[in-house]
Amino acid sequence: MKLISNQSLFICLFFIYLPFTSLAQTKTSSLLDKWTTEDQSAKMEISASGDTLELVIPKGLTLWYNERLTGNYEISYHISMLVNGGKYDRLSDLNCFWAANDPLHPNGIFTRKEWRNGVFANYNTLDLFYVGYGGNHNTSTRFRRYKGEFYGVDTEKIKPVLKEYSDPSHLLVANQWYHITIRVERDKTTFFVNDEALFSAPLTPKQGDGHFALRLLENHIRFTNFQVTAI
């Protein structure tokens, strides 16, 4: 029987292993390439496995989906707030933006990326819809419409609350998966949690066009099955 030398065995194993390593790296890179972060702490931890992202957020973070969405569309994803004794395992602020635009740069939401830098108050300059799910230390769930035109003009008009819940059934539960669906269809946008329509608002033409983002603060989440579908 012919024996294989250690050197030959090493070369064989190297070339067998290499394609699988490269494939995994490519998938991870491809997933992260779809997103842009604005991280106030500059210390966020992010990892990817398959189509799942896990994030540990020491301070304010906005995770933008790079593609600008237009027309009639549906955003769908599953997300869980992890609370298992970690430093940033805080049960609060499972939030998101959609139909986001910068009125000073209508074709470039990322033009002022460095200036915003994940600082929550700086997003008052944008036009967008916002849901703060389990905000204020998990005491409220609010729906707001941001109007950047009032930034520096009238604070009360920047982001009025359109609707609010404070009952336990509409607040966060640790380690529970939530299925979030956001629909922009014709003259209305609707926000669903586990198939329950929590919020809706009328739309003027093209008001639903813009960017989606997760908006997070001092917490630890797992995020998966993100899809955008034309409807």
Beta pairing partners, 46: 55
pTM of the full structure? 0.87
**Domain limits, the chain:** 1-33, 37-230
Q: What is the pLDDT of residues 62-88, one digit of tens each?
A: 999 999 999 999 999 999 999 999 999
pLDDT band at 3 (very low <50, low <70, confident <90, very high): very low
Pairing state between β 73-81 and 177-185: antiparallel
The candidate with the shortest Cα–Cα distance to 82, out of 174, 147, 172, is: 174
Q: 194: Cβ–Cβ under 8 A, 6 or more apart, which residues?
A: 178, 179
pLDDT at 33: 92
CATH superfamily of 37-230: Exo-inulinase; domain 1 (2.60.120.560)
Q: What is the pLDDT of residues 150-174, one digit of tens each?
A: 999 998 899 999 999 999 999 999 9
SS3 call for 2: coil
Q: Decide: residue 170, CB within 10 A, 0-12 exposed, 13-18 middle, 19+ buried.
A: middle
Provide the 8-state DSSP code for 40. S
How does the average pLDDT of the chain come out, rounded? 90
Q: 143: Cβ–Cβ under 8 A, 6 or more apart, which residues?
A: 129, 130, 131, 161, 162, 163, 164, 191, 198, 199, 201
Q: What is the pLDDT of residues 111-152, one digit of tens each?
A: 999 999 999 999 999 999 999 999 999 999 999 999 999 999
pLDDT at 28: 54
